[in-house]
């Protein structure tokens, strides 16, 4: 797995033992058990295919003895095996055209029935693998959507995309062709070896001499293939990341004329991926000739030892031919061992990379989930759990009014090197925001404004007891309840590659056309939307590339307004619009903001001057607070910023 995806603790005394391929693949068992009926029917069909696959060899041997005028077919076949095949030998007659015709008809019928069961075994087992692939893909997306920003700060998008596409396909190959070929190989080998022993135990012993060498070759090359497969998948993750970043940032690359360096960087990642594949090809180039050589040795042994037995009359020519065809039937399973080895080793390596996602746990979870996972802590701990459960029940049932309180909040992003905390971003924040009021946050870049806003939406986890909504810890609210009560417009505006209507209505269960139009009107984007040829059905392109920065911000603002949240968080969401447009938006928002708690993060004084409360952040500390007029009287950072912006406006007018 990539080092990016799985950072290693610096405090580890020694490297952890690498999990085996089986320990990775056994996590697929719950998915397989969901379709146990399909698996059972598929295995029955495969078993019948294996059983029927032994009959053509016996029929061909009988036909050979018939043409050679042997007194009885396959004379060395005795005991239970001959009793089972008695119906096949009942009409045997040396040099009989009638018997020959019957044997030919039976051979055709057997091949047709075998093909029928072979078709259904493939249809069922490959179909089962597709169903499990569907379940796995849904589970992976569900897990990725549940993860918090910390997870994505440690894992690249391209690598994650590689895992849920290429690695998932490798795992599906294990569930479909891997299981099918393994079961088919086992059934075929068991039946072939059984009848070979019945036909000639001595000859069987001789031809099976190379089998231990085959097992050794499979184990040796399997370990090499597993290691190289992990390296290939990791290299593919890096390559996918480079491609994703180049496509996403293509405008920046062109603007800075960095096409050549980026192509060279991609070429290095591409070459690394190809080199690892060439190493794997080298292993395969040795593996398959080694298997072919061992199979060739087996055939030579059969021709030599079997030919001698035919010459001395110990076995009939039909028995020898049946034995030879059984050995030929074993050739495919021997080759399939190599093919299946590749499938399982690649699948195990890929499943290990998928397990990293499936086992990942978000740090931000519902309180009930955390309580279920917490170990018992005695009577006192149980009382605390009961109290917390009661608070959670109240938080779940109550309607959020929007009163927000920060109590001695000190926050550090948990994204430092090796998973250690980074520098402190917010220091000892104490702040009360009454329900229905407006709080504005200003301050220089990097002062912690966006962090404070993100904590309210619980995109990052505030320390316990430091952030309360309506007097209840934010951790005690179910995430869905909390986030449905919050309209959040982030600083980095994101639009989906859909229509403007769908972007505005994102997250709303029941779409009301009038409400969409009203939200667009409040965000002052409706006039521009109506000027587009397709109006609200206009496709905005990837990340809203067809819209200007201001249009994207206002579309995102309309999306938040449409939700009619109790808490509205605007994180510098008007920075890309001009002052006139900003003034119109604020006038439209005035009615909306009176009905809900609003947090405004901005750099312009014109955006925040009418707020009920304004705080100034600097280096994570609140250095000033009050109304617009009160802060001007302080003659501090806020007043200085106000004077500078007034001067800039005068210069622009001139």
Chain segment 16-64, per-residue pLDDT in tens:
455 555 667 777 888 888 888 888 888 888 888 877 877 887 888 888 8
Distance from chain centroid for Cα 2: 15
**Residue 560 belongs to a domain with what CATH number?**
3.40.50.300
Confidence bin at 381 (pLDDT 50/70/90): very low
Confidence bin at 2 (pLDDT 50/70/90): very low
Question: Cβ contacts of residue 223 below 8 Å, gap of 6+?
Answer: none
- Work out the average pLDDT over 97-115: 86
Angle between helices 317-358 and 259-301 in degrees, nearest 10: 150
- Residue 617 in contact with residue 447, Cβ under 8 Å? yes
Domain extent for 250: 128-133+146-358
309, 334, 358: which is the final residue of a domain? 358
pLDDT of residue 230: 72
Answer yes or no: do 467 and 537 share one domain.
no
Q: Enter the tokens of residue 376.
A: 């018992």
Number of domains in the chain: 3
Any domain includes 302: yes
pLDDT of residue 510: 64
Any domain includes 367: no
Any domain includes 72: no
pLDDT of residue 418: 57
Answer yes or no: do 481 and 497 share one domain.
no
Count Cβ atoms within 10 A of the Cβ of residue 98 and give its class: 0-12 exposed, 13-18 middle, 19 or more buried: exposed
pLDDT at 448 over 80: yes
Nearest to 604 by CA among 641, 566, 629: 641
Distance, CA of 189 to CA of 192 (rounded, Å): 5
358, 389, 420: which is the final residue of a domain? 358
Answer yes or no: do 309 and 411 share one domain.
no
Any domain includes 254: yes
Centre a 10 Å sphere on the Cβ of residue 237 and count the other Cβ atoms it contains. 27
Per residue in 118-135, pLDDT (tens digit) is 888 888 888 888 888 888
Any domain includes 494: yes
Answer yes or no: do 316 and 439 share one domain.
no
Answer yes or no: do 202 and 253 share one domain.
yes
Any domain includes 53: no
Any domain includes 92: no
Answer yes or no: do 325 and 187 share one domain.
yes
Answer yes or no: do 532 and 433 share one domain.
no
327, 358, 389: which is the final residue of a domain? 358
User: If you average pLDDT over every residue of the chain, what do you get?
Assistant: 76
Q: What is the DSSP string of 202-271?
A: HHHHHHTTTHHHHHHHHHHHHHHHHHHHHHHHHHHHHHHHHHHHHHHTHHHHHHTT-HHHHHHHHHHHHH
- Residue 274 in contact with residue 42, Cβ under 8 Å? no
pLDDT of residue 147: 82
- HSE on the CB side for 503, CA within 13 Å? 30
Centre a 10 Å sphere on the Cβ of residue 261 and count the other Cβ atoms it contains. 11
- Work out the average pLDDT over 475-496: 80
Confidence bin at 650 (pLDDT 50/70/90): low
pLDDT of residue 8: 34
Per residue in 183-199, pLDDT (tens digit) is 877 877 788 888 888 77
Answer yes or no: do 471 and 537 share one domain.
no
Answer yes or no: do 219 and 301 share one domain.
yes
Answer yes or no: do 239 and 323 share one domain.
yes
Any domain includes 378: no
Answer yes or no: do 476 and 327 share one domain.
no
Answer yes or no: do 353 and 447 share one domain.
no
Confidence bin at 653 (pLDDT 50/70/90): low
More confident residue, 50 or 465: 465
**Residue 320 belongs to a domain with what CATH number?**
1.20.1560.10
């Amino acid at each position: 797995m990539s080092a990016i995806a799985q950072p290693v603790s610096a405090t580890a005394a020694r490297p952890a033992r690498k999990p085996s391929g089986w320990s990775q693949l056994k996590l697929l068992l719950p998915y397989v058990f969901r379709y146990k009926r399909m698996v059972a029917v598929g295995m029955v069909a495969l078993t019948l295919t294996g059983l029927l696959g032994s009959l053509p060899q016996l029929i061909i041997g009988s036909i050979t003895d018939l043409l050679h005028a042997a007194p009885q077919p396959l004379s060395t076949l005795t005991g239970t095996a001959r009793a089972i095949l008695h119906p096949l030998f009942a009409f045997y007659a040396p040099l009989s055209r009638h018997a020959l015709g019957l044997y030919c008809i039976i051979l055709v019928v057997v091949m047709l029935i075998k093909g029928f069961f072979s078709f259904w075994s493939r249809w069922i087992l490959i179909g089962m693998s597709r169903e499990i692939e569907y379940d796995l893909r849904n589970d992976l997306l569900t897990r990725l959507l549940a993860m918090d920003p910390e997870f994505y700060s440690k894992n690249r998008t391209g690598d994650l995309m590689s895992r849920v596409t290429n690695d998932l396909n490798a795992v599906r190959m294990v569930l479909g062709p891997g299981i099918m070929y393994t079961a088919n190989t086992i059934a075929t080998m068991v039946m072939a070896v059984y009848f070979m022993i019945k036909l000639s135990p001595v000859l069987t012993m001789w031809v099976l001499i190379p089998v231990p060498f085959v097992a050794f070759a499979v184990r040796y090359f399997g370990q090499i293939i597993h290691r190289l497969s992990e390296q290939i998948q990791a290299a593919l993750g890096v390559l996918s990341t480079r491609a994703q970043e180049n496509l996403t940032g293509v405008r920046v690359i062109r603007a800075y004329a960095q096409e050549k360096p980026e192509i060279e960087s991609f070429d290095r990642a591409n070459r690394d991926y190809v080199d690892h594949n060439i190493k794997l090809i080298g292993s395969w180039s040795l593996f398959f000739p080694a298997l072919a050589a061992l199979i060739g040795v087996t055939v030579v042994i059969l021709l030599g030892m079997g030919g001698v037995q035919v010459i001395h009359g110990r076995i009939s020519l039909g028995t020898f031919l049946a034995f030879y065809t059984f050995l030929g039937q074993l050739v495919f399973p021997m080759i399939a061992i190599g093919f299946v080895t590749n499938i399982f080793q690649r699948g195990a390596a890929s499943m290990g990379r998928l397990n990293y996602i499936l086992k990942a746990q978000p740090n931000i979870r519902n309180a009930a989930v955390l309580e279920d996972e917490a170990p018992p802590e005695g009577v006192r701990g149980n009382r605390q759990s009961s109290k917390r459960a009661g608070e959670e029940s109240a938080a779940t049932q109550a309607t959020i009014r929007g009163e927000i309180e920060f109590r001695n909040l000190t926050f550090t992003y948990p994204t430092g090197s090796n998973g250690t905390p980074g520098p402190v971003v917010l220091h000892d924040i104490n702040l009360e925001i009454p329900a229905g009021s407006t709080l504005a946050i200003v301050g220089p870049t990097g002062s912690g404004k966006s962090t404070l806003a993100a904590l309210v939406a619980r995109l990052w986890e505030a320390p316990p007891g430091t952030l309360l909504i309506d007097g209840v810890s934010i951790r005690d609210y179910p995430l869905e309840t909390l986030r449905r009560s919050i309209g959040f417009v982030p600083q980095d505006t994101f639009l989906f590659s859909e229509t403007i209507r769908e972007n505005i209505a994102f997250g709303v269960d029941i779409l009301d056309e009038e409400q969409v139009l009203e939200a667009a009107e409040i965000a002052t984007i409706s006039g521009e939307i109506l000027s587009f040829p397709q109006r609200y059905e206009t496709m905005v392109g990837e990340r809203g590339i067809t819209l200007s920065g201001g249009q994207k911000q206002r579309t995102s603002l309309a999306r938040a307004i449409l939700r009619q949240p109790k808490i509205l968080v605007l994180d510098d969401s008007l920075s890309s619009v001009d002052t006139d447009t900003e003034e119109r938006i604020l006038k439209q928002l005035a009615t909306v903001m009176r009905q809900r708690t609003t947090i405004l993060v901005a750099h312009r004084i014109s955006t925040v001057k009418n707020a009920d409360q304004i705080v100034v952040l600097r280096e994570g500390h609140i250095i000033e607070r009050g109304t617009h007029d009160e802060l001007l009287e302080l003659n501090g950072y806020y007043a200085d910023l106000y004077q500078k912006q007034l001067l800039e406006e005068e210069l622009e007018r001139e």
